[in-house]
Structure 1
Amino acid sequence: METSTTTLATRRAASVAWVLGLCFTVAVLEGIDLQSTGVAAPRMAREFGLSVSQMGMAFSAGMVGLLPGAMIGGRLADRIGRKRVLLISMIAFGLFSLLTAQVSTFAMLLVARLCTGLGLGGAMPNLIALSSEAVSPQRRNTAVSIMYCGMPLGGALAALIGVMSVGDTAWRHIFYTGGLAPLLVAPLILAWLPESRAYAERAERSTRAADGPPPALTVLFGEGRAAATLQIWLSFFCTLIVLYFLLNWLPSLIVSRGLSRTQAGITQIFFNVGSVVGVLAVGVLMDRTNPRRVVAAIYGAIVAALFMLAVAHDATWIAFAVLLAGMGVVGAQSMLYALAAASYATRMRGTGVGAAVAVGRIGSIVGPLAAGQLLAGGASAATVIGASVPVAVIAAVTAWRAQRRTTVH
């Protein structure tokens, strides 16, 4: 009997590792695509003769697509399954990333990034749901963090490709990589990734009872969830303003400080290395210590990093500040993903997480666009970075309150 129990536990652990490993792989691919525009920006701007304001529009175009993609992908996940929607999303962002590499005009670039964003947006709620439902609730933060650390690793790969690519037109290599990889991995996901067991069991019960997921408004605001939903939304919104401002504008801002393009690429790698450390640390600490203290610490690190970036001009200090910023802001986003997953039951998790991700994507649109407008208006890099500090403080307060509500209830 003991041997049978041990064997069952071993198989269960292997199954969890398999699911998280496959989700991690998809997250790496999504990370490459999400950061590809920021890495390619300086060369892309020269080839098309784009102004600072136009580059802000290019950054935001992909983010615009992420919003409906997350809403639709999350809702469909509760209706037709996490795995199926994830596959559709992967194929979509792979194909449109390849299209980005073929564009010849600014208008085509905007359309390609908008459509890529639709696929990317649909993938993330399903990665979160699959990861969180593969483990017990006590290990949910750790599971989501393991999956999500693939995102900054993908971003680091995008930055590395950018550093290694030679020539003004070599920016297209980033999008070829980001497009072909998900199309090659999609058949493996189809064959080997199991559907969420929690979703499958819930779907079977719903079929017998002829009962589907509740209406979206009931999911988000019914049964006492309104306050937690709104707090999670506001924290997502503000956190992603800061994150996507840094992801898209950091290389250009560093070049404006007098550093070379290679140095800018290396600092982007530092950002992603810090992100991996932050994501894993936050996930483990959230499951093992007081979550509210972790929330306070991670947003404190963000504020400290922003102050350092605003005043630093030495390459070493900039690299350290970028490392700390990656640890803080990407760790915070991972924490919010796990918090959103914990706030909704299985039958409505896709809808709840998808809505939170979608609202956050509004912030990811606002961040790069606002920074572009400020820079175009003559604001210094220090001013633009400093303007992010109060946004991070608002994110901290709302995340702390949402975590407190989740912890209590």
Structure 2
Amino acid sequence: MQTIDVNAVIDRDKLSPLQWLVFFLGFLVFFCDGLDTGIIGFVAPSLLEAWGITKPQLAPVLSAALVGMSIGAIISGPLADKFGRKKVIVSTTLLFALFTILCGFATSTNDLMIYRFITGIGLGAAMPNISTIVSEYMPSKRKAFLTGIAGCGFMLGISCGGVLSAFLLESLGWAKVIIIGGVIPVILAIVLMLKLPESTQYLVKKNQTAQAKSILEKIQGQAFASDVQFRLAATETNNTAESPVKQVLGKYLWGSSMLWLCCFMSLLVFYLLTSWMPTILKTAGFSTQQFSLIAAIFPFGGVIGATIMGYYMDKTNPTNVIKYSYLLAFLLFLLTGFVSSNILLFGISIFLIGALLAGAQSSLLPLSAMFYPSTCRAVGVSWMHGIGRVGAILGAFFGSLIFTFELSLSGIFYVLAIPTLISFIALSLKVMGEKSKNKAALNSRELA
């Protein structure tokens, strides 16, 4: 009987049509996630005027989805490791799509808050699991780059939400803009149901050999011998029979903790900016078109940044690439505080911050997918995302408090520099922990 290494089939020099399909579908899931996230922030000023409510009254609406995202991410990891990535991705994409549409029919802040909470559960569950399955289908030499490019769909979706709002908000109104943002992922959920393959690593672990064989034959472009069995790499197996949760909280606890802290602080800043930047800029005197387009520049910069980071993550230590991006973002936040009165320099600074901060945030998903083996990857990636979303919740609430503190535009950017620096410190500690662990392992081998 012939034994085939699953990763040897996937690690091709040239991606197969099926691998490109997984990549493209992953990109679209990220795009729809970002589109939903972006639209609600961009329609916030119109919602304030239409319903005659205050900014603090809107804060629970903006943060409700973030609470749902945190819950969805945390519970989806164990579910995906048990029932499969595809089932979780399809069902949660359909969930956030339908409830996004319902948001367009909300008549009160309470209704909108409930709909946004359920929407968030779907959003939070879909993103880390689509990142996991894309990572598992990409060749190891280009895993970070291609997974990062797929994740750029999120940033591009936020930017498109800004462009959509800039040109349709005044003519159609906030409700119809939101509904448009929900119809698109409904169509995508149907396509995912029909076309997205299950993770081959998951299928092999669950002894679903026939299905894994069919998928791998499509990847390599030819049939296997009739008598064949599949195996995973040594790093992808669990010889201790520990549950995925025990692995994350045991062997990978230090690295996980630092990823959680980094993601927490990063998402705090990211969601404060994406949720409140339009309102902050409008309060500072920018016109509707100006604040929509400037706010859209921020996530679009993340697309460029994540692309460049993904390339270098495959060439060198991936954690170092991201940690230095946070350090540069910290310095840029300080610089932006000095140039906030010049709209041209301010716009350029926002773009560069997006390239570094949003790019690094997007790159955390492929980084965590590379950090964990397939035996606990869904849990590890999802939990980092879920715990990070707690930071996003605080970011949304802190955004509303900014107006009570009456901080200047410069002062806001000085404050946001602090959690960005903490993200850099967290990844630095992760690298130090890995070096210490590798050194201890090397000494142990030498003594043996």
| TM-score for both structures, normalised by structure 1 | 0.91
Q: Compare 249-258 and 316-325 and name the one that shifted more.
A: 249-258
Deviation at 1:212, TM superposition (A): 12
Look up the match of 1:92: 95
Look up the match of 1:226: 253
Q: 1:281 aligns with which of 308, 311, 319?
A: 308
Look up the match of 1:291: 318
Residues 138 and 147 of structure 2 are in contact (CA less than 8 Å); yes or no, is this contact kept in structure 1? no
Look up the match of 1:238: 265
- 1:238-290 CA-to-partner distances (Å, cap 9, x unmatched) read 11011101111111122222221101111122112211101111111111134
Look up the match of 2:367: 339
Q: 1:318 aligns with which of 342, 346, 359?
A: 346
Write the mapping of 1:187-226 to structure 2, written as runs, cut at 5 A: 187-204=190-207, 214-215=242-243, 217-222=245-250, 224-226=251-253
Secondary structure of 1:174's aligned partner = helix
Aligned residue type for 1:276: V
Are 1:59 and 2:86 matched, yes or no?
no
Secondary structure of 2:285's aligned partner = coil
Deviation at 1:217, TM superposition (A): 4.0
Deviation at 1:357, TM superposition (A): 0.5
CA distance in 2, matches of 1:168, 1:100: 19
Residues 213 and 348 of structure 1 are in contact (CA less than 8 Å); yes or no, is this contact kept in structure 2? no
Look up the match of 1:106: 109
Q: Compare 258-267 and 131-140 and name the one that shifted more.
A: 131-140
Are 1:162 and 2:165 matched, yes or no?
yes
- 1:24-80 CA-to-partner distances (Å, cap 9, x unmatched) read 011111110111111111101111122121222222111000011001111111011
CA distance in 2, matches of 1:205, 1:17: 23
Look up the match of 2:289: 262
Residues 310 and 385 of structure 1 are in contact (CA less than 8 Å); yes or no, is this contact kept in structure 2? yes
Secondary structure of 2:206's aligned partner = helix
Aligned residue type for 2:321: V
- 1:78-105 CA-to-partner distances (Å, cap 9, x unmatched) read 0111111000111100011011111111
Inter-CA distance 135–168: structure 2 relative to 1 (3 Å threshold): closer
Aligned residue type for 2:47: M
Inter-CA distance 60–351: structure 2 relative to 1 (3 Å threshold): same
Q: Compare 311-320 and 387-396 and name the one that shifted more.
A: 311-320
Q: Compare 341-350 and 301-310 and name the one that shifted more.
A: 301-310
CA distance in 2, matches of 1:302, 1:22: 30
Deviation at 1:305, TM superposition (A): 3.0
Look up the match of 1:80: 83
Residues 291 and 403 of structure 1 are in contact (CA less than 8 Å); yes or no, is this contact kept in structure 2? no
| TM-score for both structures, normalised by structure 2 | 0.84
CA distance in 2, matches of 1:95, 1:116: 8
In structure 1, runs of 5+ residues without a counterpart are none
Residues 375 and 381 of structure 1 are in contact (CA less than 8 Å); yes or no, is this contact kept in structure 2? no
Q: 2:149 aligns with which of 139, 146, 149?
A: 146
CA distance in 1, matches of 2:434, 2:304: 25
Secondary structure of 1:234's aligned partner = helix
CA distance in 1, matches of 2:151, 2:40: 20
- 1:180-211 CA-to-partner distances (Å, cap 9, x unmatched) read 111111121111111111221122189x99x9
Are 1:302 and 2:345 matched, yes or no?
no
Look up the match of 1:356: 384
Q: Compare 77-86 and 160-169 and name the one that shifted more.
A: 160-169
Residues 79 and 212 of structure 1 are in contact (CA less than 8 Å); yes or no, is this contact kept in structure 2? no
CA distance in 1, matches of 2:94, 2:289: 32
Look up the match of 1:379: 407
Residues 269 and 416 of structure 2 are in contact (CA less than 8 Å); yes or no, is this contact kept in structure 1? yes
Deviation at 1:215, TM superposition (A): 3.5
Residues 261 and 423 of structure 2 are in contact (CA less than 8 Å); yes or no, is this contact kept in structure 1? yes
Q: 2:298 aligns with which of 253, 271, 292?
A: 271
Aligned residue type for 2:422: I
Q: Compare 113-122 and 186-195 and name the one that shifted more.
A: 186-195
Residues 100 and 182 of structure 2 are in contact (CA less than 8 Å); yes or no, is this contact kept in structure 1? yes
Residues 324 and 424 of structure 2 are in contact (CA less than 8 Å); yes or no, is this contact kept in structure 1? no
Aligned residue type for 1:286: M
Look up the match of 1:37: 40
Are 1:18 and 2:21 matched, yes or no?
yes
Secondary structure of 1:288's aligned partner = coil
CA distance in 1, matches of 2:144, 2:433: 16
In structure 2, runs of 5+ residues without a counterpart are 1-7, 210-228, 230-236, 439-448
CA distance in 1, matches of 2:49, 2:241: 49
Larger Rg: 2
